[in-house]
């Protein structure tokens, strides 16, 4: 069994920002030399997520507006009694999910059409990391 680990670093300029990391995922799979296996991609912070969806700017705006409706910022979350102001970020990332697993077939990410991997930042302007962990052979 082979394994491979890579960390991606982020410090977004905006509080909420989505970044396409498909190329980094594909590169990690190539570097791992794994031909058949699983590639796990995981936001290592509790106010950000990783998801797979379309690389279409209109949809990305739709997702952001939709998340704001379902988990609004600016509310009196109990979490804010700690001094934090990011209660909504914790909730938004729970809808989006914080991890994806991508099957590897014949040495490549076995994506369907239009599948793109995104890092979703909900409490930016801070140092954040994503881990890519690949196992297989």
Contact residues: its own copies, CB under 8 A: 1, 3, 5, 36-38, 40, 42-46, 51-54, 56-59, 61-63, 66, 70-71, 77-82, 87, 90-91, 93-105, 110-115, 129, 131, 133, 135-137
Q: Which is nearer to its own copies, 31 or 70 (CB)?
A: 70
Q: Which is nearer to its own copies, 14 or 83 (CB)?
A: 83
Is the separation of the CB atoms in 102 and 68 below 8 Å? no
Cα atoms in the 13 Å half-sphere on the side-chain side of 116 = 15
Strand pairing class (116-121; 108-109) = unpaired
In the numeric block, which tokens belong to residue 34? 């794994």
In the complex, minimum distance from the CB of residue 36 to its own copies, in angstroms, rounded to a whole number:
4
Residues pairing with 134 in the sheet: 4, 39
Q: What is the DSSP letter of 89?
A: H
Q: Which is nearer to its own copies, 15 or 126 (CB)?
A: 126
In the complex, minimum distance from the CB of residue 18 to its own copies, in angstroms, rounded to a whole number:
12
In the complex, minimum distance from the CB of residue 79 to its own copies, in angstroms, rounded to a whole number:
4
Q: Which is nearer to its own copies, 121 or 136 (CB)?
A: 136
In the complex, minimum distance from the CB of residue 78 to its own copies, in angstroms, rounded to a whole number:
4
Decide: residue 17, CB within 10 A, 0-12 exposed, 13-18 middle, 19+ buried.
middle
In the numeric block, which tokens belong to residue 48? 């950000």
């Amino acid at each position: 069994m082979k394994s491979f680990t890579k960390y991606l670093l982020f410090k977004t300029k905006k509080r909420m920002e989505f970044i396409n990391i498909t190329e980094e995922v594909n590169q990690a799979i190539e570097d791992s030399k794994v031909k058949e296996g699983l590639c796990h991609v995981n936001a290592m912070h509790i106010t950000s997520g990783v998801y797979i969806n379309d690389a279409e700017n209109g949809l990305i705006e739709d997702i952001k507006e939709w998340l704001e409706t379902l988990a609004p910022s600016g509310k009196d979350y109990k979490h804010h009694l700690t001094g934090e102001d990011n209660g909504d970020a914790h909730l938004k990332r729970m809808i989006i999910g914080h991890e994806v697993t991508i099957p590897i077939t014949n040495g490549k990410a076995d994506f369907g059409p239009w599948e793109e991997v995104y890092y979703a930042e909900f409490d930016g302007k801070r140092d954040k990391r994503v881990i890519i962990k690949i196992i297989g052979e």
